[in-house]
Amino acid sequence: MSKKNNEYQAIEIARFTFDWINVYIPTLRTNSPHTVRAYRTAVNLYISYLEDKGITDKTFSVEFFSVSFLDGWLIWLRQERNCSNKTCNNRLAAIKCLLKYIGTRNATYKVLYLEAAASVKRLREPKSKVQGMTKDAVKAILAIPNPSSKVGLRDIAIMAFEYGTATRIDEVLSLKINNLKLSMDKPYATVLGKGSKIRTAFLMSGLVETLKKYIKVFHGAKPNPEDYLFYSSWHGQKSKLSQEAIRKRLKIYASKAFESCSDVPLTLHSHQWRHAKACHWLEDGLNIVEISKLLGHESIETTMVYQNITTEQQMRALATLEDEATSAIPKKWKMEKNKGLSDLFGFTRS
């Protein structure tokens, strides 16, 4: 291929990549900054790999998205970047998404995605399942903290909230006073979940009483609605409580609770409350569709995988289902002189 054609392809793909990461992903695929950052990192790493292979903005062409290069990149991620198989698979998924987008913008490049999707396989990941937790184990753990002590009351409130609403630990620790509506006929909390999706978590009477007692002790009679519900004090400021602080407390309670209940997992972590509640909802006969909504999952399939739902349960469940923001961003591909492939695509060398 001629040098002129190479330069044209490099500019065109750089432009498509810019549109993909700055417009398409944040507006049409997700509104989560974490996801956008992950996609950007994947492309940045691919560009870094190509540069390590000696490819520049002058020699770049679409052939460098071929199956052999993608396979080589996965090896590079494992050996040079020490990435786990799971991380490699996430990076690969991002690149495949980019190639699919490029193919929709220019049909000439559609073959890139088709070949990658068919021939570049995900690396094998060890299956990791969340250890289940029985109702007896839940009771045993919640009985350990001393509710008459401040720390004990706080820990009971956090664990009871996690289990009672099946919320993620970061969702719980991100709650502010104004997210709670405890005086309503049907008390609830407004939860900000993954992808900045908002959902309502209804609160049972026992949990409401625990939260009211906790707020009175930790926030006083007139709490600041903008304060974090669960916080750590630092120089007089109420900062967001860290997950590590909760993780340490859980291990202490699990060790003590195990003495009276062998069902208690000694490696207890916050996500097990969410998993346990979802399983217990299922045991109590709650419809899997409703469980999926309560968990904040986008699809029922996610809930099924999450809970290791059996085929029979799946069948029963399915039977119940009858450009202003980027105007200020410099467009690197339009620059007459580029300093290399990373500069052309608008990335910083990783």
pLDDT of 98-142, one tens digit each?
A: 999 999 999 989 998 898 888 998 888 776 566 678 999 999 999
- What are φ and ψ of residue 238, in 5° steps? -95, 100
User: What one-letter code names the amino acid at 179?
Assistant: N
Q: Which of 234, 245, 235 is nearest to 173 (CA)?
A: 245
Coil, helix or strand for 223? coil
Q: Say which DSSP state 32 is in.
A: -
56 phi/psi in degrees, rounded to 5? -120, 180
pLDDT at residue number 5? 65
Helix (H, G, I), strand (E, B) or coil at 25: helix
- Tell me the angle at which helices 135-142 and 150-165 cross, rounded to the nearest 10 degrees: 160
Assign a CATH topology to domain 140-283: hpI Integrase; Chain A (1.10.443)
Q: Which two tokens stand for residue 101?
A: 């987008």
Long-range contacts made by residues 2-11, C-beta under 8 angstroms, separation at least 24?
3/58, 5/61, 6/58, 6/59, 6/60, 6/61, 7/57, 7/58, 9/60, 9/61, 9/62, 10/57, 10/58, 10/60, 10/61, 10/333, 10/341, 10/344, 11/333, 11/344
CATH of 3-127, one of 3.30.70, 3.40.50, 1.10.3470, 1.10.150: 1.10.150
pLDDT at site 222: 93
Q: CATH 1.10.443.10 residue ranges in the chain?
A: 140-283
How much is the pLDDT for 325?
44
pTM of the complete model: 0.57
pLDDT of residue 141: 97
Convert the pLDDT of each residue in 7-39 to its tens digit. Answer: 788 889 999 999 999 999 988 887 778 888 999
- Mind listing the pLDDT tens digit of every residue in the chain (350 residues)? 555 566 788 889 999 999 999 999 988 887 778 888 999 999 999 999 999 999 988 888 888 999 999 999 999 999 999 999 989 999 999 999 999 999 999 998 999 889 888 899 888 877 656 667 899 999 999 999 999 999 999 999 999 999 999 999 999 999 999 999 999 999 999 998 877 788 899 999 999 999 999 999 999 999 999 999 999 988 778 899 999 989 999 999 999 999 999 999 999 999 899 888 888 888 887 777 788 888 887 766 666 655 554 445 444 544 544 344 455 556 555 555 556 778 777 777 66
For residue 201, which phi and psi values (nearest 5 degrees)?
Answer: -115, 110
SS3 327: coil
Closest C-alpha to 173, from 134, 223, 230: 230
Within the chain, all domains assigned CATH 1.10.150 are found at 3-127
Closest CA to 343 of 17, 1, 4, 3: 17
Q: How far apart are CA 113 and CA 304, in angstroms?
A: 29
Kindly report the length of the chain.
Answer: 350
The confidence score (pLDDT) of residue 288 equals 75
Distance of CA 298 to the CA centre of its chain: 12
Is the Cα dihedral 295, 301, 302, 303 positive or negative?
Answer: positive
C-alpha span between 348 and 98 (Å, rounded) = 18
Q: What is the pLDDT of residue 281?
A: 86
Task: Decide: 130 and 271 in contact? Cβ < 8 Å.
Answer: yes
- What is the token pair recorded at 117? 């999707």
Residue listed under structure tokens 């085929």: 311
> Which long-range CB contacts under 8 A does 222-225 form with residues at least 24 apart?
223/177, 224/177, 225/176, 225/177, 225/178
